[in-house]
Amino acid sequence: VFIERDLPFLRQFDTKVIVNICGSTVADYLEVVERLSGQEIDMLEANISCPNVEHGGIAFGQEPGMVEYITKEIKKKAAQPVSMKLTPNVTDITEIAKAAEAGGADALSLINTITGMRIDVKKRAFCVANKTGGLSGPAIKPVALRMVWQTCRAVNIPVIGMGGIQTAEDAL
């Protein structure tokens, strides 16, 4: 549906088209990359905050070795430049960023959502079915700014700020 309906719609505007991809296995990512390889897309953004079901559910983006590996595999198949979207739910964002750069990433996007939780105190129950969920927006801007700053100092590829970073002024 995306290729037939959404991509032509997006292409009618004078803007860059960056497509976010995700998966539960490396094969999932590669299948999506292959499907998009012949499309008029300016950049792929690989969301590696997804749980890796083949390795106990840890997010692809939480282990440097896996980050480098999945980046290399995506880059082998991608016809477009690739930005790796990094999770903030790590001990050292610079190690993850360096791994993505070593894997051949053209850019980095960060930060994705911070794991959060909401509880209905009257019902004494979780408000989200999964118990935890992603927190983004202005609440995480200070964390995003720190991680973008750290990453910019650690790598030599472009860094796209997000996760509360909404304007050029936010990033400066």
Residue 93 to residues 71, 112, 114, 123, 144: CA-CA distances in angstroms? 16, 12, 13, 37, 11
What pLDDT, on a 0 to 100 scale, did the predictor assign at position 59? Answer: 79
Cα-Cα-Cα-Cα torsion 141, 143, 148, 154, nearest 10 degrees, comes to: 170
What is the CATH architecture assignment of 2-171? Alpha-Beta Barrel (3.20)
The answer to whether the predicted template modeling score (pTM) of the entire model surpasses 0.85 is yes
User: Which of 22, 50, 127, 152 is the catalytic position?
Assistant: 50
Domain spans of the chain? 2-171
Residue 148 to residues 48, 59, 103, 165, 170: CA-CA distances in angstroms? 17, 20, 19, 10, 11
Amino acid letter, 127: C
Tens of pLDDT along the chain (172 residues) come to: 899 999 999 999 999 999 999 988 899 999 999 999 999 999 999 999 865 556 655 678 999 999 999 999 999 999 999 999 999 999 999 999 999 999 999 999 999 888 889 999 999 999 988 888 888 899 999 999 999 999 999 999 999 999 889 888 887 7
What pLDDT, on a 0 to 100 scale, did the predictor assign at position 26? Answer: 92
50 is catalytic: yes
What pLDDT, on a 0 to 100 scale, did the predictor assign at position 50? Answer: 67
